[in-house]
Amino acid sequence: MRISVTQKRKLRNKSTETLIGKFKTITAKERIFYANLVKSAISETIVQNLFILEGYKVHKYGMETSLPQMLGCLHSDKSETAIQIKAMPDLVVQTPDLNNVFFVEVKYRSNGQFSINDFKKYEDYPFKSAYFIILSKKTIKCLTYKELMHGFHIDENTDNQLIDRKEFQFTEEIFREYLELMEDLFSNID
């Protein structure tokens, strides 16, 4: 059975109307949740590609990758298992010489601020060796979980630049290019 061009257009328009209709029924809370997922995906992609360009092996590890079918299901689940799943770091990063492996949690903060007080889920965080890479509109900063637990934090006045971490080696030119890319991508995002 062949479908005419007119019938295809009607089907396409009906699908678009259905999609738009569903979008209009999303609550404000859900809209924020999905907007944050998009910001997270952009941030993770930036960090992932920055490491890859420097020769690191990068493996997606977080809940969004490992258990995507559970993404919407666990949003309000407060069970211990759900909390541990939601706490999974976003990436596993391996050095070019393959001698070191790091858990990496990536966060976007429009205000550039991050401390352990921002998230109650990190009180019993199971990944004690994790690195937290925080992207803002103009910076990429980094602290370890242990540093956060000792009261260190990230804001516009702290230096904690990812490029300065001795555990990682970045080419300044590539790093600066990614900072410019971030400014372009995040300039109109809160």
Question: Tens of pLDDT along 119-170?
Answer: 666 667 889 999 999 999 889 999 999 999 899 999 989 999 999 999 999 9
Among 37-46, 58-67, 77-86, 174-183, the range scoring the smallest mean pLDDT is 77-86
Per-residue pLDDT, averaged over 48-73, amounts to 89
Query: Any idea how long the chain is?
Result: 190
Whole-model pTM over 0.85: no
Please tell me the distance from the alpha carbon of residue 103 to that of residue 169, in angstroms, as a whole number: 16
- For 168, half-sphere exposure in the C-beta direction (CA atoms, 13 angstrom radius) is 31
Model confidence at 72: pLDDT above 70: yes
Max Cα distance, the chain (Å): 68
Per-residue pLDDT, averaged over 21-43, amounts to 79
Produce one character per residue of 147-182: b if its CB has 16 or more CB atoms within 10 Å, e if not: bbeeeebbeeeeebebbebeebebeeeebeebbeeb
